[in-house]
Structure 1
């Protein structure tokens, strides 16, 4: 599978709220998946996709082999702001530039980090699946509109290509298969681990420092975050569930935001992750080739981890 590299223009003059969707529907999700994902992430749903991808990464901490490894490196507990920034900037470099040039540099940097640690193919495959599944479900629940079938297919094809460049094996062909894999892996592997809980706690603490969250009490932001978690995720971290009324209020507030955004004018200028106030580690700019960690030797014992496989039958669900 290949992709044409075409950078979306600023598209000034688009007036209808659904004009971007009509533009996307004229593209081929099996060929133009990079451009479609650029339009989705930079123009159509920048805030929502950023939230959904952050939540996707958060889910991976509930898999003990992932959460424990991240805790042992210390990167997501002692330097959580930098790790948050590096992850977003590396992923955005691939999306912005495609699978050539700077995009290739970003993938190479990501692969260098991953290969320094004993990460099994199953955990990599599950993480890749969260990038496909979490935005789809987020938009279904809270977006100003859900993804179209074209957008879902383009998302699956984009992450299939990313996974191929990462050397991941057994990548699903469709977004439905990604969803089935995602759910089966969570059913089989979600469990409590002190390291995973420490990484989750550190991430939630960081979330409380982001504007406008930093203007609200920490306990309120923490409860709001736990309200958005499903029961299996909370149970894996041993988080208590907020009161039912607070969960309804929290989710309702996000749905209300989606209804309001539906009436906003179409975005004509791209919004990039690097321009968000949440990204604070590189006020003077950055070189994607220098992002992330540069561990030497064997940072954690390799015999601590084994490859994770899915033994649960994969059948589409919740899609």
Structure 2
């Protein structure tokens, strides 16, 4: 072996002007091979750990296993695409007039020009979603998030102002959008095991949120596994879009309020480009239903080129994200002083965020000031509830302290469900 290495060493043109090129080329190739192998070896390690070797084994996937796989995807494998996909899934529902109309008539969203109200609802929605989706299944915070969401939904269910189909469509977008976006915009598509894990989680969450699946063909006889349920949900969701996505004044009002929130921390010179990217991501049908202008000429080609470059950089030049750098969606423990939980990220206004030097004087604060959406670089102390949130009180001010008896009953019912259950077995 040493003799072989010595012969190889002697063949390298170390004394010529070309020697550095050999070393640089070797280093680049070695680094690319390392990153690629490391990324796929992590994927194979996860597959080996859970050992779902074929389609028939997927029916035995428990909620606990599915949640562990989904958490790994959302925190370490595809955190940027997953979080953006969930945001756009919610945003896309505003192309359905029955959904946007409810938001406008109840005034729970905020009018255009009222970033404070719009950002508060976005923060409340984020708190409930991330606690339900990212907390361990069966944990008290996960169950509280489900119960609080049911409390708000039931207000409109009782009066017939929210339909099961609209709720099922919203659930379908939360389920399908991360898979679609990962395939289109990230370094690899999801495997069958990963898609089944997401489907298993959302199938259970849909049941916990009291959403009926009667509209799906196999509801009466059941589904063989998460992929079977996913196929039917996807087909139903696309058909529902074709029938119900259409332009309306309420769509435009909710979208305009969201536009102000999305763009308030982006330089004004980039507003047209960023909103053009939003139109591309939504697709022509939803874009027209939301009355969003067409993207600037050439933007879609430039966007697709950047996505392709990003894919290759992630796949060949970036090692996988280690656990200690994972995307954190919720604080692991409450603040020791307030005994409340603080949000880890904010958009527009720092709701439920512990005020720090970075929040007051960081890039996001500078952009808010520069764009004229706040009058001072310093956020008003206490205005945005920096002490954190209690899930029992998340929501509009008029609902603080309300619904706790109903939530308690709902949590008691959820206590009877085991995180080790297999929803398709």
State the TM-score, normalizing by the size of structure 2. 0.62
Q: Structure 2 vs 1, CA of residues 111 and 20 (structure 1 numbering), >3 Å: closer, same or farther?
A: farther
For residues 22 and 219 of structure 1, do their structure 2 counterparts lie closer, same or farther at Cα, with a shift above 3 Å needed?
same
Matches within 5 A, 1:95-244: 95-117=134-156, 118-170=161-213, 173=223, 174-210=229-265, 213-214=266-267, 217-244=270-297
| Residue number among 311, 316, 339 corresponding to 1:258 in the alignment | 311
Structure 1 CA distance for aligned equivalents of residues 107 and 178 of structure 2 = 28
Alpha-carbon shift at residue 128 of structure 1 (Å):
0.3
Equivalent residues of 2:273, 2:296 under 8 A apart: no
Q: For the structure 1 residues 188 and 47, does the alpha-carbon distance in structure 2 shift closer, same or farther, using more than 3 Å as the test? A: same
**SS at structure 1 position matched to 2:81:** helix
Say which structure, 1 or 2, has more relative contact order (CA 8 Å, 6+ apart).
1
Q: Matches of 2:267 and 2:84 in 1, distance apart? A: 17
Q: Which residue of 1 aligns with 2:22?
A: none
Looking at structure 1, the residues matched to 187 and 178 of structure 2 have their Cα atoms a distance apart, in angstroms, of 13
RMSD between aligned alpha carbons?
Answer: 2.1
| Cα distance per residue 1:160-186 (max 9 Å; x no partner) | 000000111117552222211110110
Consecutive unaligned residues of structure 2, counting only runs of 5 or more, are: 1-36, 53-57, 217-222, 224-228, 330-342, 354-385, 400-425
Q: Which has the larger radius of gyration?
A: 2
CA distance in 2, matches of 1:109, 1:227: 34
Q: Flag the 1:195–1:215 CA change in 2: closer, same or farther, 3 A.
A: closer
User: Residue 280 in 1 paired to residue 350 in 2?
Assistant: yes
Moved more, 254-263 or 34-43: 254-263
CA contact (8 A) 1:85 1:281 kept: yes
The equivalent of 1:60 in structure 2 is 93
Extract unaligned runs of 5+ from structure 1: 1-14, 297-319
For 2:392 and 2:136, how far apart are their aligned partners in 1? 14
TM superposition shift of 1:157: 0.8
- What is the alpha-carbon distance in structure 1 between the residues aligned to residue 135 and residue 41 of structure 2? 21
Spell out, residue by residue over 1:240-291, the C-alpha distance to the aligned partner (whole angstroms, 9 max, x if none). 2124411221233233223322332222222123423537211232222221
**In structure 2, what is the Cα distance between the partners aligned to 1:90 and 1:101?**
13
- In 1, Cα distance between equivalents of 2:171 and 2:312: 29
Decide whether the 8 Å contact of 1:132 with 1:178 is kept in 2.
Answer: no
2:123·2:346 contact (CA, 8 Å) conserved in 1?
no
CA contact (8 A) 2:275 2:295 kept: no
CA distance in 1, matches of 2:244, 2:276: 25
> How far apart are 1:220 and its partner, in Å?
2.3
Q: Deviations over 1:95-150 (max 9, x none)?
A: 22323311000001111111122211000000000011111111111012111111
Give the aligned partner of residue 300 of structure 2: 247
Secondary structure in structure 1 of the residue aligned to 2:246 = coil
Change (3 A) 1:291 1:18: farther
Distance 1:74 1:250, change over 3 A: farther
Which deviations, in whole Å up to 9, do the C-alpha atoms of 1:213-260 show, x marking residues without a partner? 347532222222122221111121122212441122123323322332
TM-score in terms of structure 1 length: 0.81
* Contact kept in structure 2, 1:228 and 1:247, CA below 8 Å: no
Cross-structure match for 1:35: 68
Name the structure 2 match of 1:289: 392
Mean CA deviation greater in 56-65 or 16-25: 16-25
**C-alpha distance after superposition, 1:13-57 (max 9, x if no partner):** xx9222432233232562111111111111111111000011111
Give the structure 1 partner of residue 360 of structure 2: none
Tell me the residue number matched to 1:271: 327
Deviation of 1:187 (Å): 0.4
Q: 1:255 to 1:84 in 2, by over 3 A?
A: farther
